[in-house]
Structure 1
């Protein structure tokens, strides 16, 4: 990209050095941005996995609490008692 910006000055040695330095700096900058972007993607995926596991744990806890609540409710038998039993 930097080479296309300064095509008419490349014949001079100082501009050739400048263009090479710009290319080197752009390469370093892009690799840094790539590393930062990759880190953000990995952390985002890890957060999403942990969040989904947390949601599943909450669902399991709710199901367990509902089962325990069903078992904890006393059963009332309102049928009239028979003399023999």
Structure 2
């Protein structure tokens, strides 16, 4: 069964578990519009994050699409669009 929605809390959990968190970054703060790079997540960490999202939420994210999501808000929106499309299919 597909999840109804991918939330910022889901993303924070995946970021912490998959790549860890830079101790100087407060993921519990308002990070929605902060660049992933500023949060300490480089391209390799984001590929791992994308892979975990695909496995856990049963959606497909291509590398170009993932590269185009440079903030938590844009990644949450992208995943939710994929979830909506999968439910509609």
TM-score when normalising by structure 1: 0.28
TM-score when normalising by structure 2: 0.27
The structure carrying a bigger helix percent of its residues is 1
The answer to which structure, 1 or 2, has the higher relative contact order (CA under 8 A, 6+ apart) is 2
